[in-house]
Chains A and B, each alone.
Chain A
Amino acid sequence: MANQAGRSSTAQERLSQVSDHLSGRGGRRGKRSLLEKHPDDIVVTCALRTPITKGGKGGFKDTAAADLLHGAFRALIERSGIDPKLVEDIAVGAVLAPGGGATEFRAAALAAGFPTSTACKSLNRQCSSGLQACVDIANQIKAGMIEIGVGAGAESMSQQYGPQAVTEFSELLENYKEAANCKVPMGVLSEQMAKDKKIPRSEQDKFAASSFHKAVEAQKKGLFDEEIAPLTVKWTDPKTDEEKTITVSRDDGVREGITAESLGKIRPAFAKDGSIHAGNASQISDGAAAVLLMKRSTAQRLGQKIIGKFVQASVVGVPPLLMGVGPAAAIPVVLEKTELDKNEVDIYEINEAFASQCLYCINELGLDINKVNPKGGAIAFGHPLGVTGARQVSTLLTELRRTGKNIGVTSMCVGTGMGMAAVWVAE
């Protein structure tokens, strides 16, 4: 009686239960049913990443993407204790590697200890490649094609970022306006979008500074330690040209002491009167991430420790010039599919490609900004293109588990105009 609100929500739940009995929908969905545990759930038993380092000067500047991936695989096998023989397929998201990196990644898997019977593919859905890799593996498991798989991402922007990543457009493509738009550089179109959607520079700088601030705090408290697998690599000192062996164990793009004011002094990068600059856009970075997926029944049989489950993903297209609105388009779709209310989600990991587009999506969806990227995002520690989607899984699940919460969404905008989102539940 003390809590009238509680009573009326109980009545509401009982009512919807009876109405579900009548409508005969295939079982209830929504938050309550998301938290249920079923033998055929697709669960995550290990999710980790290498540190993410600054492109061109960070700890991994001299390490190939496949070597980073090799490190992530080694750590995954060691931490999960999975018998590599049982892994049937691996999907690796990568954006810049020539040929998708298909050959090198297969080689990296073999070198990491997976037997020749473990298949491996690479895939490219631009900035969501890492998420797409996890979703592909989850769907393969769901469909019964495989029983255990790894979704991963690997990117060396130090070594592979540049104009060679896109070939010349043919006349045919150039003559079709929307097609030609696919080629407009991210910075340029985001600048235009920030202008059109009226996201002032001051807001962007404030958002970027808070991303740095959150990441610094998280790093100080050691909140990334659980998800990061340190990696020992060769590194050439740019001052002395001396080759050293170093162990990288933290994200080196995170800088202390950044404020909205200090960011306000940086010159815009894409237009004189522009608002986007190096400080409020994602960093160019190197890294790798891997996620081990299987059915709950399989995990229980093998004694694997379940840390979370994959529930549902969505992908939508948006106009190429408005690629930054991707999360605002994809998140409502995945929430609708799972019948979740946006307020029932505890944490949103939305990739910070640019402060402008991330902020736009948060405002457009009406999200509580305190629920978005609680440990900072790509502005603070970087966005190795193909890795981000897989990286978000470990970042999200660790934070959900640490704070005793359950439901999370990962999402990102995708170059050429797409958005992708996925719902995860920590256990």
Chain B
Amino acid sequence: MLEFRTQGYNGYSVKYSPFFDSRIAVAASANFGLVGNGRVYILGLTPNGIVVEKWFDTQDSLFDTTWSESHENQLLAASGDGSVKLFDITLSQFPIQSWQEHAREVFSVHWNLVGKDTFLSSSWDGTIKIWNPNANASLTTLPTHSCTYSAEFSPHSPSILSSVSSDSHLRVFDLRTPASASNHLTMNIPIHTPPKPRMGAAAPVGVPPSEALTHDWNKYRDTIIATAGVDRLIRTFDIRAPAAGPIAVLSGHEYAVRRITWSPHLSDILLSASYDMTCRVWTDGSAMGVGSVRQENMVQDDPMVYGGGKEMGSMGRHTEFVTGVDWCLFGAEGWCASTGWDERVLVWDCRAIMQ
């Protein structure tokens, strides 16, 4: 396990470069992001450990970062003052562009993985904005009317994106639909819907809504999205059946889940970071051939909801809230990086913690 200290700054987000296996960006904030400056670190993984290649300071706290998919030296940062900033690591000190449109804290930024010419931001002001790095103003604003902690483009389509917000809903937008209909909103799934009742099992009881903090698109199964948040549960949804409720419910975290991310290598594996100071590796059970209906007795055999999905390991080396975690896209499947309020970035191999 490699370690780096973000002295004086509490980590909020960590992202591997999509171009280099040895480059990591970290968004961090002084004073736990409550008040004060922010800083983006560009870290290099070298035989001598983790070294700082560069950093950028900002006036307000930073809550998220994402690498450009089209330019290997550029990355975005989401700021507490409502701005989205684009930095170029070959230049010093200042962002090359800063877009100030959000009225409140920006909590997530994400680059379009397919289109590569657009990116999005989501904010506490209840909107998601779509941007082009060459345009001065946003291209589109999508209202969610609710503090939106996480928004992401689908890795399978340039025009589909999704979000989760404090109103406990997973929204899917399709930019190809006419804006007039409902601001491109095509799906609005209540995350707290209990799993569908099944014969031979007790009917699920009502689940109160709770804030959703993070979500991620599966990289292999193009209709599967995982969500997680304050109720400590990770759920997966199939957007082909939005009314069916979650298909897997993974419990184990002892406090709110701050970030989840699907493996870029394996279709059933995901990684989570939580306020309970751990990162955990999970399988949603799909690789074990679940979801089949046993026709003889009409009782659906669905181990995903009933325990087929499970925790595969836990990493407890952080000593404060873990807020960011990301997979390395290159090399052996399993390398990942995490950051948290303990002012540390850890780079580790999750195969070492799997049981």
A14-B105, A21-B213 known; A26 vs B35 contact (CB < 8 Å):
no
Stretch at the interface among A34-42, A61-69, A114-122, A136-144: A34-42
Task: Check if B166 sits within 8 Å of A28, measured CB to CB.
Answer: yes
Interface check A20, CB cutoff 8 A: yes
Encoded as 1 (CB less than 8 Å from any B CB) or 0, chain A from 18 to 58 comes to: 10111011111000110011110000000000000000000
Interface check A10, CB cutoff 8 A: yes
Task: Check if B145 sits within 8 Å of A21, measured CB to CB.
Answer: no
Task: Check if B145 sits within 8 Å of A38, measured CB to CB.
Answer: yes
Interface check B326, CB cutoff 8 A: no
Least Cβ–Cβ distance between A99 and chain B, in angstroms: 39
Alpha-carbon separation in the docked complex, A18 to B166 (Å):
12
Alpha-carbon separation in the docked complex, A37 to B35 (Å):
29
Alpha-carbon separation in the docked complex, A27 to B149 (Å):
13
A22-B256, A38-B167 known; A15 vs B34 contact (CB < 8 Å):
yes
Alpha-carbon separation in the docked complex, A11 to B30 (Å):
12
Q: Which among B32, B105, B167 has the highest number of chain A CB atoms within 10 Å?
A: B167
A24-B256, A26-B209 known; A8 vs B35 contact (CB < 8 Å):
yes
A11-B34, A14-B80, A21-B256 known; A27 vs B167 contact (CB < 8 Å):
yes
Interface check B275, CB cutoff 8 A: yes
Alpha-carbon separation in the docked complex, A39 to B208 (Å):
16
Interface check B343, CB cutoff 8 A: no
Least Cβ–Cβ distance between A300 and chain B, in angstroms: 8
Task: Check if B211 sits within 8 Å of A39, measured CB to CB.
Answer: no
Alpha-carbon separation in the docked complex, A425 to B199 (Å):
43
Task: Check if A24 sits within 8 Å of B126, measured CB to CB.
Answer: no
Interface check B56, CB cutoff 8 A: no
Chain B residues 146 to 188 lying within 8 A of chain A, measured CB to CB, are: 146-147, 166-168, 188
Task: Check if A27 sits within 8 Å of B209, measured CB to CB.
Answer: yes
Task: Check if A37 sits within 8 Å of B211, measured CB to CB.
Answer: no
Interface check B255, CB cutoff 8 A: yes
Task: Check if B213 sits within 8 Å of A26, measured CB to CB.
Answer: no
Interface check B230, CB cutoff 8 A: yes
Interface check A7, CB cutoff 8 A: yes
Interface check B33, CB cutoff 8 A: yes
Least Cβ–Cβ distance between A21 and chain B, in angstroms: 4
The residues of B that contact A8 with a CB separation of less than 8 Å are 35
A10-B35, A20-B230 known; A27 vs B168 contact (CB < 8 Å):
yes
A8-B35, A10-B35, A27-B211 known; A21 vs B146 contact (CB < 8 Å):
no
Alpha-carbon separation in the docked complex, A425 to B69 (Å):
43
Encoded as 1 (CB less than 8 Å from any B CB) or 0, chain A from 317 to 361 comes to: 000000000000000000000000000000000000000000000
The residues of A that contact B255 with a CB separation of less than 8 Å are 21-22
Q: Which among A21, A26, A33 has the highest number of chain B CB atoms within 10 Å?
A: A21
The residues of B that contact A21 with a CB separation of less than 8 Å are 211, 213, 230, 255-256, 258, 275
A36-B126, A37-B145 known; A27 vs B35 contact (CB < 8 Å):
no
Alpha-carbon separation in the docked complex, A8 to B258 (Å):
24
Interface check B132, CB cutoff 8 A: no
Interface check B310, CB cutoff 8 A: no
Chain B residues 226 to 260 lying within 8 A of chain A, measured CB to CB, are: 230-232, 255-256, 258
Chain B residues 271 to 311 lying within 8 A of chain A, measured CB to CB, are: 275
Interface check B210, CB cutoff 8 A: yes
The residues of B that contact A7 with a CB separation of less than 8 Å are 35
Alpha-carbon separation in the docked complex, A24 to B213 (Å):
12
Task: Check if A26 sits within 8 Å of B208, measured CB to CB.
Answer: yes
Least Cβ–Cβ distance between B187 and chain A, in angstroms: 13
Least Cβ–Cβ distance between A406 and chain B, in angstroms: 14
The residues of B that contact A25 with a CB separation of less than 8 Å are 210
Alpha-carbon separation in the docked complex, A167 to B258 (Å):
64
Least Cβ–Cβ distance between B207 and chain A, in angstroms: 10
Task: Check if A22 sits within 8 Å of B188, measured CB to CB.
Answer: no
A24-B256, A37-B145 known; A14 vs B168 contact (CB < 8 Å):
no
The residues of A that contact B126 with a CB separation of less than 8 Å are 36
Alpha-carbon separation in the docked complex, A20 to B229 (Å):
11
Encoded as 1 (CB less than 8 Å from any B CB) or 0, chain A from 278 to 291 comes to: 00000000000000
Task: Check if B256 sits within 8 Å of A36, measured CB to CB.
Answer: no
Alpha-carbon separation in the docked complex, A17 to B166 (Å):
10
Encoded as 1 (CB less than 8 Å from any B CB) or 0, chain A from 208 to 242 comes to: 00000000000000000000000000000000000
Alpha-carbon separation in the docked complex, A28 to B126 (Å):
14
The residues of B that contact A33 with a CB separation of less than 8 Å are 166
Alpha-carbon separation in the docked complex, A20 to B126 (Å):
18
The residues of A that contact B80 with a CB separation of less than 8 Å are 10, 14
Alpha-carbon separation in the docked complex, A21 to B209 (Å):
13
Task: Check if B188 sits within 8 Å of A20, measured CB to CB.
Answer: no
Task: Check if A14 sits within 8 Å of B211, measured CB to CB.
Answer: no
The residues of B that contact A17 with a CB separation of less than 8 Å are 147
The residues of A that contact B32 with a CB separation of less than 8 Å are 18
The residues of A that contact B33 with a CB separation of less than 8 Å are 14
The residues of A that contact B209 with a CB separation of less than 8 Å are 26-27
B231's contact among A15, A20, A24, A39, by CB below 8 Å, is which? A24
A10-B35, A14-B34, A36-B167 known; A24 vs B105 contact (CB < 8 Å):
no
Smallest CB-CB separation from B182: which chain A residue? A300
The residues of B that contact A32 with a CB separation of less than 8 Å are 147
Alpha-carbon separation in the docked complex, A181 to B261 (Å):
66
Task: Check if B145 sits within 8 Å of A26, measured CB to CB.
Answer: no
Chain B residues 198 to 235 lying within 8 A of chain A, measured CB to CB, are: 208-211, 213, 230-232
Least Cβ–Cβ distance between B15 and chain A, in angstroms: 21
Alpha-carbon separation in the docked complex, A39 to B70 (Å):
38
Alpha-carbon separation in the docked complex, A11 to B188 (Å):
31
Task: Check if B146 sits within 8 Å of A36, measured CB to CB.
Answer: yes
Task: Check if B35 sits within 8 Å of A36, measured CB to CB.
Answer: no
Alpha-carbon separation in the docked complex, A24 to B169 (Å):
16
A26's contact among B105, B146, B210, by CB below 8 Å, is which? B210
A14-B33, A36-B146, A39-B188 known; A22 vs B167 contact (CB < 8 Å):
no
The residues of B that contact A28 with a CB separation of less than 8 Å are 147, 166, 211
A14-B105, A36-B145, A38-B145 known; A22 vs B34 contact (CB < 8 Å):
no
The residues of A that contact B188 with a CB separation of less than 8 Å are 39
The residues of B that contact A36 with a CB separation of less than 8 Å are 126, 145-146, 167
What are 16 A-B contacts defined by CB distance under 8 Å? A10-B80, A14-B34, A14-B35, A14-B80, A21-B213, A21-B230, A21-B255, A22-B275, A24-B256, A27-B211, A28-B166, A28-B211, A36-B145, A36-B167, A37-B145, A39-B188
Q: Which A residues form the contact surface with B (CB < 8 A)?
A: 7-8, 10-11, 14-15, 17-18, 20-22, 24-28, 32-33, 36-39
Counting from the closest, the 4 A-B pairs by CB-CB distance are: A11-B35, A37-B145, A11-B34, A21-B256
Known: A20-B230, A21-B258, A26-B208. 17 other contacts (CB 8 A): A10-B80, A14-B105, A18-B32, A20-B211, A21-B213, A21-B255, A21-B256, A21-B275, A22-B255, A27-B210, A28-B147, A28-B211, A32-B147, A33-B166, A36-B126, A38-B145, A38-B146
